[in-house]
Structure 1
Amino acid sequence: MKEDYLKMIFELGGVSGKVSNKQLSLSLDIAAASVTEMINKLVEERLVSHTPYAGISLTKSGRKAAEELVRKHRLWECFLFDKLDYTLATVHQEAEQLEHSSSDQMIDKLDAYLGHPEHCPHGGAIPDPAGNYEVGSRTTLAQVNDGAKIRLSRFVDNHDLLEYLESLNFVVGQEFTVNSHAPFEGPISLTAAEAGNDIDVSFKAANNIFIDEL
């Protein structure tokens, strides 16, 4: 669905950043050819712009549509996670269904009921009714150098990724030291600041984990 593409471009690139076909293919787990086909459709609808060899970004109308979708989706994730005890890995699919059947009035009431949360359970910013939100980090774990001290700030909203991170006991806010990047897109070795244990994170996952350098 085109809505999934708009949300993922927003997640990966924000309001002005450019993302590649490869990033979308990895994060959505969709074949590169299918990504190219959908991006061409979104360009025709003037929801995204695509500069060859530079990347894909949201247009003004695409950004507005993405922000509205993300607001609905992430508020439902907060409700499912905080009130119904869904796990981080299971909120996405339920929220995906709920966002498409929710009016703006319902979402505003849900927002008030939840106390106007600013972030969803996996760290994504939630736009307020006026479209304001905190612009988070755009630096991924895969991009930082060996020896860097980092804090996990956000995970891309992907079921398989969140399930994988749950198996590693990763939560937003944890701090680590980056030990090494294995060659040929191998795993990235981390040491947990609090527990002191070493953890290997796959290269694919590391491209979908956003961090703040400390």
Structure 2
Amino acid sequence: MTSRSTSRNRKSKNTATRLSMGAENYLLSIFRLEEQNVRVTLTVLADHLKTLPMDEGLGTSLPSVGGMIRRLSREGLVETTANKEVVLTSKGRKPAESIVRRHRLAECLVVDLLEVDLHLAHIEAHRLEHAISEYLEEKIVKALNDPTTCPFGHPIPGSAYTPTRQTKTLDKAQQGEELVIDSVPEDDPALLKYFVEQNLVPGREVDVREAAKTRGVITLDSGAGDIVFSYDVAAKIRVCPR
């Protein structure tokens, strides 16, 4: 068999085993929500899918989401619990980790090599993730020196990532604490742009100027002025001691 024939056979095999773009997006979304310790219901999932690029062509109505979940359930990739929570099965977790890995490698690729603006990286990665083959994935990993986190601080599945510091969500911080940003949410484009504009990215040092739970806001001193967040937003930011 020629090398060209071998290449064609490899491509056919990968094509046959690759899920549809829609199914990959659902598994990615469920995985991301589980990472955030969010209880995944059809309503929560529908809201999360609306943060994906419109050209992904996903239906985000509850009937559409329910139909896809039933399909994924028939394929053994997800299951719905008695309290109507959607969870990944052991069979579904492997492709979910694969698409999340490709997405985060794509984020690293567009930021580190293509110099795409950081706040646009998440959207551009969504457009690239489905086209990355196993062969190209290996090339990206080599070109980027095997990264362990994406530009927003989230671990890349299948990498050598190991937590090195004790982290917590910012809403658990106390006034006067000196912290370092570990990761920021990437699913809300407007919020992500605000983070980037304020240079509130992984590695940034901040001090908690005020933690006013009664008013529902937390104020950070970033060295370039105060940044004020609601506790809902603070719960999505992970920090560690300086």
Smaller-chain TM-score bracket: 0.7 to 0.9
- Looking at structure 1, the residues matched to 152 and 120 of structure 2 have their Cα atoms a distance apart, in angstroms, of 12
Which aligned pairs between 1:1-214 and structure 2 lie closer than 5 A? 1-14=22-35, 19-21=39-41, 24=45, 27-29=48-50, 33=62, 37=66, 38-53=68-83, 55-128=85-158, 133-134=161-162, 139-142=168-171, 144-147=172-175, 149-158=178-187, 159-178=189-208, 179-181=210-212, 183=214, 186-192=216-222, 195=223, 197-212=225-240
Q: Contact conserved, 2:184 with 2:201, CA < 8 A, in 1?
A: no
Structure 1 residue 182: Cα displacement:
5.1
**Number of aligned positions between the proteins:** 207
Question: TM-score normalised to the size of structure 2?
Answer: 0.68
- Looking at structure 1, the residues matched to 183 and 190 of structure 2 have their Cα atoms a distance apart, in angstroms, of 15
Greater RCO, 1 or 2 (C-alpha within 8 Å, sep 6+):
1
SS across alignment from 1:89? helix
Structure 1 residue 121: Cα displacement:
0.8
- Looking at structure 2, the residues matched to 181 and 152 of structure 1 have their Cα atoms a distance apart, in angstroms, of 20
Counterparts in 2 of 1:155 and 1:115: CA distance versus 1, 3 Å: same
What do residues 118-161 of structure 1 show as CA deviations (whole Å, max 9, x unaligned)?
Answer: 11111111233xx764369884334x144355432122332333
Q: Contact conserved, 1:146 with 1:180, CA < 8 A, in 2?
A: yes
Counterparts in 2 of 1:28 and 1:146: CA distance versus 1, 3 Å: farther
Amino acid in the other structure paired with 1:141:
L
Structure 1, unmatched stretches of 5+, are none
- Looking at structure 1, the residues matched to 32 and 233 of structure 2 have their Cα atoms a distance apart, in angstroms, of 15
Structure 2, unmatched stretches of 5+, are 1-21, 52-59
Amino acid in the other structure paired with 2:119:
A
Amino acid in the other structure paired with 2:192:
L
Q: Contact conserved, 1:7 with 1:69, CA < 8 A, in 2?
A: yes
SS across alignment from 1:189? strand
Counterparts in 2 of 1:68 and 1:208: CA distance versus 1, 3 Å: same
Q: Contact conserved, 1:152 with 1:173, CA < 8 A, in 2?
A: yes
Larger Rg: 2
- Looking at structure 2, the residues matched to 83 and 207 of structure 1 have their Cα atoms a distance apart, in angstroms, of 31
Counterparts in 2 of 1:97 and 1:189: CA distance versus 1, 3 Å: same
Amino acid in the other structure paired with 2:32:
E
Counterparts in 2 of 1:145 and 1:119: CA distance versus 1, 3 Å: closer
Identity of aligned residues (%): 32
SS across alignment from 2:118? coil
What do residues 68-88 of structure 1 show as CA deviations (whole Å, max 9, x unaligned)?
Answer: 111211112111101111111
- Looking at structure 2, the residues matched to 50 and 140 of structure 1 have their Cα atoms a distance apart, in angstroms, of 28
- Looking at structure 2, the residues matched to 199 and 120 of structure 1 have their Cα atoms a distance apart, in angstroms, of 24
Structure 1 residue 113: Cα displacement:
1.4
Amino acid in the other structure paired with 1:153:
D
